[in-house]
């Protein structure tokens, strides 16, 4: 084996390490996004057409089939998409029914039932909410349809009216469980991740969280605290607090590959003391790529990888950059990108707040508020929040919630006297 190290900076990289053309990744990414949304929309449209055709004949069957198809599509869409595209999907189903020549009473009852089911499950994204959502959607669609048909027909065609109302109620009740049953297949087929799946990721029994708690307990505790802070901040500005909470819980998961190199997991021994500053920087930066790789292995990368990549942005590692032997300052920056959404920016803020508060716990709510303001101002002034969409007004609205959460984490408890009193507490 040769002892000569090739100079890869002077010329092109070896062929084995050449990256694929950028256009290939762009085409692949666009194709995936088109299939993820367009494929689901086309399939849901086909299901709506089939429900309308197969339900023709009796009002009860027509209402039941169409409302069930609308509710099932809306429920899965609300679990798998953001609010706006999910609502557009409900509107698309209404347009399909209009093109098919459906009666307005059927169109409106289906849309109302779908919207109710989707919004209920968006507010309480859990399996336990599926049946209540179905009951509410079926009841709303049935009541609306009953009022509509009574105004339109009176009691002259009561048998047909009762059948249609019963069908709407049954369709709403069945639509949500149908979405739950076919959800795993739809997730796999359209490369989607629903909120039900992400709810499972919050469970501390998840193997990746168990590994983090076992190998990097300090990082695990840090991540839990960041998750609490992110939830509080996102709630204050009506961002996606659920997504921020999940993303915060996994933002540092890459540290499980080398936990001893991160301060929260060290107990007296710092392995960086024997390394050059650029070697330490490489190890610290590696936790980002390691985290993305772990998420990819567990099938969690699409919704969460951006939290891992963006939570440091292009920030400088000040301790290493100021080292006497450091050299070029930009060598000690994270690779980025900077946060590109409000949720990832919130996790960046919460991450730094928790780390600073752990080093020097704030004494009271005034100190907590000052720490939040200093941290957000520093991140804003250095440009790390420029691409996130967070406004100065939103940062101000986040401050009281973040300060209150910090105070709850680091408040000083009243001391207890030794003896029976302490034992009983």
Are 180 and 215 members of one domain?
no
pLDDT, residue 174, reads: 92
Taken as a whole, the chain contains a residue count of 425
pLDDT in the model for residue 416: 63
Domain closes at, from 193, 213, 241 = 193
List, in order, residues 6 or more apart from 337 with CB less than 8 Å away. 309, 310, 313, 314, 387
Residues 130 and 254 in one domain: no
Q: What angle do CA 192, 196, 201 make, to 5 degrees?
A: 95
167 with 235, same domain: the answer is no
Cis peptide before 337 (omega within 30 of 0): yes
**Domains in the chain: how many in total?**
2
pLDDT of residue 125: 74
State whether 183 and 217 are in the same domain: no
Tens digit of pLDDT at every position of the chain (425 positions): 333 333 333 333 333 333 344 433 434 444 556 666 678 888 888 999 999 998 887 888 899 999 999 999 999 888 888 788 888 889 999 999 999 999 999 999 999 999 999 888 877 877 788 888 889 999 999 999 999 888 887 877 788 889 889 999 999 999 988 988 888 888 888 888 888 899 899 999 999 999 999 999 999 999 999 999 999 999 999 999 999 999 999 999 999 999 999 999 998 888 998 899 999 999 999 999 999 999 999 999 888 999 999 999 999 998 887 777 777 778 899 998 999 999 999 999 999 999 999 999 998 999 999 999 999 999 999 999 999 999 999 999 999 999 999 999 987 766 666 655 544 44
Contact present, 83 and 70 (Cβ < 8 Å): no
214 and 106 co-located in one domain: no
What is the pLDDT at residue 66? 94
**228 and 368 belong to one structural domain:** yes
Residue 383: inside a domain: yes
Cα gap 173→177, rounded to integer Å: 8
316: β partners = 333
| Same domain, yes or no: 313 and 209 | yes
pLDDT of residue 417: 60
**Structure-derived torsion over alpha carbons of residues 374, 378, 384, 387, reported in degrees to the nearest 10:** 70
* Residues 152 and 240 grouped into a single domain: no
Predicted local confidence at residue 33, as pLDDT: 62
Residue 90 lies in a domain: yes
Helical spans, DSSP H, in 38-129: 40-55, 59-80, 83-99, 104-123
How does 228-264 read in b/e, with b if 16+ C-beta sit within 10 Å?
bbbbbbbbbbebbbbbbbbbbbbbbbbbbbbbebbeb
**Residues 214, 185: one domain?**
no
Instruction: Say if residue 41 is in the same domain as residue 142.
Output: yes
Tell me, yes or no, whether 173 and 254 share the same domain: no
Range of the domain at 42: 33-193
Same domain (yes/no): 266, 399: yes
């Amino acid at each position: 084996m040769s002892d000569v190290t090739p100079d890869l900076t002077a010329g092109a990289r070896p062929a084995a390490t050449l990256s694929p053309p950028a256009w290939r990744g762009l085409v692949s990414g666009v194709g995936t996004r088109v299939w993820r949304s367009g494929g689901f929309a086309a399939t849901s449209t086909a299901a709506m057409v089939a429900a309308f055709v197969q339900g023709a004949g009796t009002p009860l069957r027509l209402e039941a089939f169409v409302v069930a198809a609308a509710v099932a599509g809306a429920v899965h869409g609300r679990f798998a998409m953001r609010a706006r595209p999910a609502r557009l999907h409900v509107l698309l189903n209404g347009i399909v029914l209009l093109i098919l020549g459906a009666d307005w009473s059927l169109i409106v009852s289906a849309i109302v039932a779908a919207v109710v089911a989707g919004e209920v499950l968006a507010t309480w994204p859990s399996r336990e909410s599926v049946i209540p959502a179905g009951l509410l959607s079926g009841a709303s669609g049935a009541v609306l349809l009953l009022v509509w048909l009574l105004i339109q027909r009176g009691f002259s065609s009561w048998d047909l009216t009762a059948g249609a109302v019963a069908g709407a109620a049954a369709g709403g009740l069945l639509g949500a469980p149908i979405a739950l049953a076919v959800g795993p297949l739809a997730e796999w087929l359209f490369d989607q991740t629903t909120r039900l799946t992400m709810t499972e990721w919050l469970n501390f029994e998840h193997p990746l969280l168990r590994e983090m708690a076992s190998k990097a307990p300090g990082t695990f505790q840090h991540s839990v605290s960041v998750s609490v802070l992110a939830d509080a901040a996102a709630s204050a500005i009506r961002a996606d607090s659920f997504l921020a909470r999940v993303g915060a819980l996994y933002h540092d998961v890459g540290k499980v590959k080398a936990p001893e190199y991160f301060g929260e997991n060290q107990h007296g021994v710092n392995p960086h003391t024997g390394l050059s500053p650029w070697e330490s920087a490489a190890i610290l930066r590696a936790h980002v790529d390691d985290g993305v790789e772990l998420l990819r292995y567990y099938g969690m990368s699409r919704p969460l990888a951006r939290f891992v990549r963006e939570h440091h942005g292009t920030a400088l590692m000040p301790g290493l950059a100021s080292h006497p032997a450091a050299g070029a300052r930009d060598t000690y920056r994270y690779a980025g990108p900077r946060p590109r959404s409000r949720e990832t920016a919130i996790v960046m803020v919460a991450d730094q707040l928790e780390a600073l508060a752990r080093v020097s716990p704030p004494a009271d709510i005034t100190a907590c508020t000052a720490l939040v303001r200093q941290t957000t101002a520093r991140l804003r002034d250095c440009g790390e929040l420029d691409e996130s969409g967070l406004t100065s007004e939103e940062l101000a609205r986040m401050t009281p919630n973040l300060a209150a959460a910090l105070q709850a984490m680091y408040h000083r408890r009243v001391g207890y006297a030794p003896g029976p009193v302490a034992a009983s507490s």
